[in-house]
Structure 1
């Protein structure tokens, strides 16, 4: 039996955070499941009002990485994440370049472990690492 892994982040603004994670991971928006032509149609099929609360669904264009779902929730983040993403670049110069790119997109550097990895946070404070 085949299965797929999705990672889901609770967020306060899924649409803007999705832009950050598309840049960070090289992901793209995932189209809605058939037969729906928009995500709003799909959300409405559950009896939900698509104008309240947001979400974003991202996929690896190569089909290798897990899907990333970002879902708006009413409560603020109050504690450190128990799971974080590691973005692997292949070499230290790639770590530095990716880190700089993500800082320019609203991320922040939390700690640098020279030659090993950089601990960062996305614009909502979700921690992740950039490593070779």
Structure 2
């Protein structure tokens, strides 16, 4: 495959059966392992499966009970046809070692966190947030406005800026977005409501639902659906 840009639906159709999930422009999967040395071996297997194609596409997080694999064409800031070609190669390589790619397990599932900051003058405040966080420019943010900032090592949440037309002192100016796979959205929303939250709006669902905690602080639960 090339570096062409498939739709989110096309990505999900190919990747979901392999145990990968599309989360905020990145394909992610979990591989269960019994120990940290086993995690290192599993990571090496995943890298070997794609050989020289790993750089600029594959990222690996190591944990004692799992490795978390991420596929994205970093230069493009999203999943390309090239990444979609790598996913089955990685899954097959791991399967030869009796390891499965899966979309997490139990309460530990692929997700991404974003911090959205409302601003009247984005060019004025953006340098402050870039300086204080040490973040870098997001190359080509998918599902986000231009000007988003990201952790250089992709560990922390993405920060993006939402244009305001007028001051809005009656509500919070910073909110969190939680990006999850589509099948996780409703259970996550139900858990939030059961813990005392309220549903503010479902007008943009299934792209996102707006919820609020008991004091009115807002959060959006987001998926890739409804964006193509």
TM-score, normalised by the number of residues in structure 2: 0.26
TM-score, normalised by the number of residues in structure 1: 0.42
Relative contact order (alpha carbons < 8 A, sep ≥ 6): 1 or 2 greater?
1
Q: State the structure with more CA Rg.
A: 2
